[in-house]
Structure 1
Amino acid sequence: MNFKELPFDAGQMLPGLRTWVECESPTFDAAAVNRMMDLAAYELAALGAEIERIPGRMGFGGSLRARLPHKNKGTPGILLSGHMDTVHPVGTLQGLPFRVDGNKAYGPGIQDMKGGNYVSVEALRQILAAGLETPLPVTVLFTPDEEVGTPSTRDLIENEAARNKYVMVPEPARPDGGCVTGRYAIARFNLKTVGRPSHAGWALKDGRSAIAAMARKVLEIEAMTGEDCTFSVGVIHAGQWVNCVSSSCAAEVLSMAKRQEDLDEGVKRMLDLSDASGDVIVEVTRGVTRPVWEADAGTLALYEITRSLAKEIGFDLTHASAGGGSDGNFTGAMGIPTIDSIGVRGAGLHTLNEHIEIDSLTERAKLAAGLFLTLT
């Protein structure tokens, strides 16, 4: 049986995907992420996979590793790598419930990246149901912390990737439906200002506001954005009482660069903002970093295989390097052939308009099945 003949049906996939989407799993809620891993573990166990639940650390949820049945299990094969955490807090379903409107299905995390993960598992389900065997053994690794830079599972991903010949990452497809064969570098920073408290009513002049200092720094940092390296402040925490001059303020900064040398320069510029000489102290520390992934011959050869399979299905698959990190940064930078963003088509990820195009469920399940059955 040809992979195109496998009986994929978007209408039959939607109820299962809905169950995954309605199991909200924000990164910072370890118990919620673990509940999502339970659902995936059950479905993979039902396929006969050898299930391993890996405990979480650093306050994050655990990971799920599943090795599909295969006569050559334990030899280098295909790693399907995806994350089950989302940016949407528990309760988002009230404002973004799962719903279907024409060719669109909505819900928190449905595009990034539960849709891609689900169709990949569906591809394995249909392959096994048809009595087919993949040329290479397949390992599935679902992790809990990609949305915050993968601080607790990077080594797990890299070690698993090193045991395999290929890596498939079903992150959302690019806006034109294309895949990703390289990613920009990303660095995170923690920024803190430390001021001098005072009563804001009768001793305002005695204080030095950490919030005011941070506001000035935010403008300075975002003004550093250029063509080759960007800077954005996405999180700020400060203050407890409005009648007190704030003594501390914390922020998180994200920097993205197309080349490693541009990121290195951006890192230096950020760290140089630390200053203990004034009335308000500024402290900058570096957080997690994703390396630049530039497509090499192995990844480009994997892309050509993927593109030829897409043509058989009936669409042209473009490729490009992209901003926005993924765990493909790690595996691609290691030199392991990696094909990223082969997940579902859609739009609005990380917003209350997040949705997928329903007809892409069948399309991308066929593509995943084609890769599983073709790669040698």
Structure 2
Amino acid sequence: MNALNLPFDSNDMLAGLRAWIECESPTFDAAAVDRMMDLAARDMAEAGAVIDRIPGRMGFGGSVRARFPHPDFGKPGILILGHMDTVHPVGTLAKLPFRREGEICYGPGIMDMKGGNYLCLEAVRQILRAGLTTPLPVTILFTPDEEVGTPATRDLIEAEAARNRFILIPEPARPDGGAVIGRYAIARFNLRTHGRPSHAGWALSEGRSAIAAMARKVLQIEAMTGPDCTFSVGVIRAGQWVNCVAAECEAEVLSMAKRQEDLDRGVAAMLALAGEEDEVVLEVHRGVTRPVWAPDQPGTMALYGLARRIAAEIGFDLTAASAGGGSDGNFTGAMGLPTLDSIGVRGKGLHTLNEHIVVESLAERARLVAGLLMHLPEGAS
């Protein structure tokens, strides 16, 4: 049987996906992420996989590795890599419930990236049900911390990737439905201002506001954005009493660049902001970094070429480009491993209360993944 003729049904897949979407799993709630991993582990075990639960660290949830039956079990093969954490806090379902409206389905994390994860499992499941054997063994690894830069599982991802020949990442498709064959570099920074407290009504002039100082730095930092390197402040925490001049303020900054040398200059500019001004001290600490995944690597381009041919058989044109917005493909791509990213669902509104997918893309992309699993390494070595 041709893998493209397997009985993928978007409606059936959506019914199975619903449980994953209604199991909320924000990154910073380790117990919630572990509940999601339990659900995924059960579904993959039911499909026949050998399951390894890998404990979390640094306050994050654990990971799940599923290795599917194969005559060459344990040998280098295909790694499907996805994350189960989302940016949506527990309780988001009250505002963004799982609901279908025609050909669109909404839900927290349905686009980024539980929909893509689920369709990959369905691809493997349908191959096994049909009694087919993939040329290479297949492993799925789901991790808990991608939305915050993968601080706890980067080493796990890189170790597992090094044991395999090809990496497939079902992050959501680009706006035109295309795949990703390279990603920009990303650096995170943690900032803290130290001021001097005082009573805001009785002795305002005696204080030095850490909040005001940070606000001025926010404007300075975002003004550093240019065509080669961007800067954005996404988190600020400060203050406890409105009648007290704040002594401390924290902020988190994200910087993105197309080339590593541009990011290096951006990192130097951020670190140079540290110091004291008007009796307020600013600390700048570099956080987790995603390396540049350079486009046009031969192995990745061969993998993409195979995917595009398979997509054409299915009935659509799969474009490809380098992209911003980091993923764990930054790591595997930077390792030089053939990596095809963003082959997951089509949709819009990721990270918002309008997050949704095009339902028909579930079967469409499951066929693409099944085709890749049944044809690799043919034409992509």
- Scaled by the length of structure 2, the TM-score of the pair is 0.98
How big is each residue's C-alpha offset from its partner over 1:125-154, in whole Å with a ceiling of 9 and x where there is no partner? 100000000000001000000000000000
Q: How does 1:209-358 map to 2 (within 5 A)?
A: 209-276=209-276, 278-295=278-295, 296-358=297-359
Alignment partner of 2:276: what SS?
coil
One-letter code aligned to 2:12: Q
The 5-angstrom pairing of residues 8-27 of structure 1 reads 8-27=8-27
Q: What SS does structure 1 have at the residue aligned with 2:105?
A: strand
User: CA offsets per residue over residues 68-97 of structure 1, 9 Å max, x none?
Assistant: 111101111000000000000000000000
1:4 Cα deviation from its structure 2 partner: 1.4
Q: Aligned runs of 1:1-376 on 2, under 5 Å?
A: 1-276=1-276, 278-295=278-295, 296-376=297-377
RMSD: 0.6
Distance in 1, Cα, partners of 2:360 & 2:44: 24
CA distance, structure 1, for counterparts of residue 243 and residue 162 of structure 2: 56
What SS does the corresponding residue of 1:265 show, helix, strand or coil?
helix
- Cα gap change, 1:243 to 1:277, in 2 (>3 Å): closer
1:117 CA displacement: 0.2
Structure 2 CA distance for aligned equivalents of residues 145 and 135 of structure 1: 31
Q: Deviations over 1:18-49 (max 9, x none)?
A: 11000000000000000000111001111221
More displaced stretch, 336-345 vs 44-53: 44-53
Amino acid at match of 1:328: G
In the TM superposition, what is the alpha-carbon distance from 1:367 to its structure 2 partner? Answer: 0.4
Letter in 2 for 1:331: T
Query: Sequence identity of aligned pairs in percent?
Result: 74
User: Which SS does the other structure have where 1:276 is aligned?
Assistant: strand
- Can you list the C-alpha shifts for 1:279-330, whole angstroms capped at 9, x where unaligned? 0000000000000001211100100000000000000000000000000000
Residue 278 (structure 1) shift:
4.0
Distance 1:361 1:96 in 2: 20
Aligned partner of 1:371: which letter? L
Q: CA deviation at 1:277?
A: 5.6
Partner deviation per Cα, 1:97-127 (whole Å, 9 max, x = no partner):
0000011000000000000000000000100
Q: Determine the C-alpha separation between the residues in 2 that align with 1:350 and 1:48.
A: 33
Alpha-carbon offset, residue 3 of structure 1:
1.0
Using structure 1 for the length normalisation, give the TM-score. 0.99
User: d(CA) in 2 for partners of 1:73 and 1:228?
Assistant: 44
**Aligned pairs, number:** 376
Match of 2:309, SS state, is: helix
TM-superposition CA deviations, 1:194-234 (whole Å, max 9, x none): 00000001100000000000000000000000000000000
Question: Could you tell me how far apart the structure 1 residues matched to 2:342 and 2:171 are?
Answer: 4
